Amino acid sequence: MKQVTVGVVGVGVVGIEILNILRERNFPSKNIRVFARSERDIEIDGRLYTVEAIDKASFAGIDIALFAGTEGEAGASTLYASKFIEEGAVVIDNGSDFRMKDGVPLIVPQVNRERIANHKGLIANPNCTTIQMVVALGGIQKKFGLEQIILTSFQATSGAGRSAVSALWDESKAIVNSNDKAGNYADINKILPKTSGVFSHQIAFNAIPQIGSFQEGNYTSEEWKVIKETHKIFADSSIKVSATCVRIPVFTAHSEAIYFTVKEKATFNQIADVLAASEGVIYSAKPEDYPLALEVEGKDEVFIGRLRRDPFQENGFWMWCVADNLRKGAALNAVEIAECLLKD
């Protein structure tokens, strides 16, 4: 692959992960420029990076720009993506601003890399929850077709950013430190009468069945992302997709219980064989060898276990799916897209 100049926009948890992955994978970069709101130097794993203030910077000479994912009307990609593109860069955006826009490919390389070539200077990275699910189901969709998907996600706090990780840590410490000498459980409602403000409720020792704002049909924005992005990635809006997304007190790695039905008749062994052969997937055939969030942190693959057939629904199956949300769910997927660009 040819040597290119890379721009990384954002130095939050995803931006830092992008910088780490570029180095780990020996990405063919002759220069890496880092941009954020303010100019400063940062150190990541012993390596010093100079951060440029994005509002004052020139983007000339950058071949690929990786946006870490600031979302919303004032998001970095909304403000600056077009300026990078005008200077000749291809933008790969981790935010949600352009995912559903017509003409913008929404890419997971293991599933639909052939659509990368359709870009017009901008490629969107899907939501972390969607990415690991479609990697898990991609081979099944191609071989048997998908009729229905029902997802229940159990999502790590790092998906909400650095402040969310700190909230879990601080709340947990407050509860543990307040435990009485007799070893009884502390009254957590008295210890933490107010939340950190990051989540709508206390996250420590809790589960919050809301990620994002409530929208049509009482589904949250996160749940609608899963529905709409899955349809776009698989290019099939006939798939019946429904989701419940839950935030849990885990630092890194999302876990998902995925129920799916296939259009063509399939046996348990046929589904298992597809999973075992799927790109980017590690499938555990033994039911007791299910993947755990603690075990997959820092790993690139999507891990699947506990495959089982629905005893009452023909062509219905369940499986358990776990992946590092900061790596495959965000930074790694973006870097893999960039690698595909250089190979084409």
Q: Hey, which residues are catalytic here?
A: 128, 254
The burial of 45, by beta-carbon neighbours within 10 Å (0-12 exposed, 13-18 middle, 19 or more buried), is given as exposed
Convert the chain into a string of H (helix), E (strand) and C (coil).
CCCEEEEEECCCHHHHHHHHHHHHCCCCEEEEEEEECCCEEEEECCEEEEEEEHHHCCCCCCCEEEECCCCCCCCHHHHHHHHHHHCCCEEEECCCCCCCCCCCCECCHHHHHHHHHHCCCEEECCCHHHHHHHHHHHHHHHHHCEEEEEEEEEECHHHHCHHHHHHHHHHHHHHHHCCCCCCCCCCHHHHCCCCCCCCCCCCCCCCECCCCCECHHHCEHHHHHHHHHHHHHHCCCCCEEEEEEEECCCCCCEEEEEEEEECCCCCHHHHHHHHHHCCCEEECCCCCCCCCHHHHCCCCCEEEEEEEECCCCCCEEEEEEEECCCHHHHHHHHHHHHHHHHHC
Torsion from C-alpha of 223, 225, 228, 231, nearest 10 degrees: -90
